[in-house]
Structure 1
Amino acid sequence: MGYSKEQLLARLQDLKIEFSKHEHPVVMTVEAQAKYVGSMGGGLSKNLFLKDKKHRYYIVCALADTKVDMKVLSQRLGLGKGGLRMAPEEALPEILQVGRCL
């Protein structure tokens, strides 16, 4: 089970991990992300929610301008060619506990 936002922040504080918190609306694209945090410096990111043939789920986080080759990633994870694909939207609330944002 994951942490709520409040639990995660409390955990970081308990571990004495320094952090900055920046709130913004939920965004579904790198372009929308840039609108809210693009001027802060650092790299923009993208998150890919993926599923393999055995119904295992993966989250791949990459810099926004990174080309993610699903066939290469599948092979590097030992899943064979074409072993990964985008997870179905219906899995978002079940697996990630987030709703549809569009």
Structure 2
Amino acid sequence: MGVTKEQLLARLKELQITFSQYEHPVILTVEEGEKYVGNLGGGMSKNLFLKDRKQRFYIVSALANTKVDIKVLSQRLGLGKGGLRMAPAEALGEILQVCLSLCCYYIC
């Protein structure tokens, strides 16, 4: 079950986790993100939402400059060369409860 921005921020405060909040429009690539948060320091990351032939889903996070070879990753997970592919966009909403029309937030 997803949480709202307000619920997330309240939980961070409840856990006494120090953070700074920066709001920006939806970004779909690392390059777009650099325009908004690239000057803040730290490592930029990218997230890949993948699925296998058995309809199992995976989230892979890597530093932005890391080349992720899906074929190699698939083999290392024991799924064969073509075992992983990008998950369909509809799965973002259905499984991750992420809507691309919402604003994104960078919390550090």
TM-score for the superposition, normalised by structure 2: 0.82
> What's the C-alpha RMSD, in Å, of the aligned pairs?
1.5
Bigger mean CA deviation after superposition, 54-63 or 70-79: 70-79
Q: Are 1:61 and 2:61 matched, yes or no?
A: yes
Letter of the structure 2 residue corresponding to residue 86 of structure 1: M
Q: Deviations over 1:48-99 (max 9, x none)?
A: 1111111111111111110011122223333233211000122222112233
**Structure 1 residues 46 and 75 mapped into 2: Cα distance closer, same or farther (>3 Å)?**
same
Tell me, which stretches of 5 or more residues in structure 2 are unaligned? 102-108
Tell me, which stretches of 5 or more residues in structure 1 are unaligned? none
- Aligned partners of 1:95, 1:84: CA distance in 2, in Å? 17
- Aligned partners of 1:99, 1:21: CA distance in 2, in Å? 19
Corresponding residue for residue 97 of structure 2: 97
Identity value in percent: 73
Q: Are 1:74 and 2:77 matched, yes or no?
A: no
Corresponding residue for residue 85 of structure 1: 85
**Structure 1 residues 99 and 11 mapped into 2: Cα distance closer, same or farther (>3 Å)?**
closer
Letter of the structure 2 residue corresponding to residue 19 of structure 1: F
Q: Deviations over 1:9-52 (max 9, x none)?
A: 11111111111111111100111101101111112111111111
The offset of 1:100, in angstroms, is 4.3
Bigger RCO (CA 8 Å, 6+ sep): 2
Q: How many residues get paired?
A: 101
Q: Is the 8 A contact 2:26 2:100 kept in 1?
A: no
TM-score for the superposition, normalised by structure 1: 0.87
Corresponding residue for residue 34 of structure 1: 34
Corresponding residue for residue 20 of structure 1: 20
Runs of 4 or more consecutive aligned structure 1 residues displaced over 6 Å after TM superposition: none
- Larger strand proportion of the pair: 2
